[in-house]
Amino acid sequence: MGFEGVEIWRGGVNTWECDEMGHMNVRFYVVKAVEGLAALAALIGMPHAFSSDAASTLLVGEQHIRFLKEAQAGAALHMVGGVVEMGESEARLVQLLVHSNTGEIAASFQTVVTHATTRAGTAFPWSDRTRTLAAALTMAVPEKARSRSVALDPVSSIASLERADELGLMRIGLGAISPQDCDVFGRMRPELFIGRVSDGIGGLVGPLRAIVAGHAPNAPARTGGAVLEYRLVQLDWPRAGDRFELRSGLIGADGRTMRMVHWMLDPETGKVWGTSEAVAVTFDLDARKVVPIEDAARNELLKLAKQDLAL
């Protein structure tokens, strides 16, 4: 099955890119999406956008991701993409990561980028040449790439350390950005936010999955989790040596999914590095199926939800 758009990446899944769930970890989806951005940048007249001597670059400000078909070690993948719309200095792009041997979409991305100076990150208008080239790459957002459970409205973040303490948000991550975590311009690479959340999420979701499994008619022997949809908003860019703290909480549950919000904060200054919302399921690792959330389990989960938590 073919898709609208131009090919911007091709490769596969390495064993070391897979996690304890047996499929490619979320951080590597973003890695591949960012590689695809380099190709899209070249196609709109910015072939050196991610090189150290570039005059301008593309800053990833926001990503909406839908994970549609798990990718396991050895899977052959490719990516197609195009331009949805352009503003004065921003653009919304769409990227589809496709299983090459079946044509099924593994994941979709709506990526909002800003045309900016490389060092200061100051936004400035697109050139006429870029607008002309981008017009030839116009691509509608396919149905499977559209937002399903996560709103894409403009964000005015409520995140802060003080608010995190008031809401009793769990600390799931704490650390510092290293030089290898940064791009050639010294900013934290886009996959680090979702990757660090993935590293620490077990502390939050482990007990929640136990509630779901404990009320399941056929309790799975082994459970894990899978994310179905994600929205990441990068509000500032930490650099090497900057510290981060991840504070997270459950905001809701239905008959199948749990919704969570994650804040990435500077633990010293309280600066908000980024916020994200995720829709996830409990996964039966042996049957490779979603474990439904029974009413009794949902009632227990909702008692733990943070009603005032948002991006």
Task: Enumerate the domain spans of the chain.
Answer: 1-146, 147-311
> Which pTM was predicted?
0.94
- Tell me whether domains 1-146 and 147-311 share a fold: yes
State the Cα–Cα distance between residues 245 and 250, nearest whole angstrom.
Answer: 17
Residue 231: which residues within 8 A CB-CB, separation 6 or more? 62, 63, 64, 65, 147, 150, 152, 276, 277, 278, 311
Residue 89: which residues within 8 A CB-CB, separation 6 or more? 114, 115, 116, 123, 124, 125, 126
Q: Which CATH architecture has domain 147-311?
A: Roll (3.10)
Model confidence pLDDT, tens digit, residues 24-72? 999 999 999 999 999 999 999 999 999 999 999 999 999 999 999 999 9
pLDDT of residue 2: 59
* Fold of the 1-146 domain: Thiol Ester Dehydrase; Chain A (3.10.129)
Q: How many residues does the chain have?
A: 311
State the Cα–Cα distance between residues 260 and 225, nearest whole angstrom.
Answer: 13
Model confidence pLDDT, tens digit, residues 261-308? 999 999 999 999 999 999 999 988 888 888 899 999 999 999 999 988
Model confidence pLDDT, tens digit, residues 197-245? 999 999 999 999 999 988 988 888 888 888 999 999 999 999 999 999 9
Using alpha carbons, list the distances in angstroms from residue 140 to 36, 44, 143, 240, 300: 17, 17, 9, 37, 41
First to last CA, the chain: 36
Reading the block at residue 128, the tokens are 């006429």
Model confidence pLDDT, tens digit, residues 181-198? 999 999 999 999 999 999
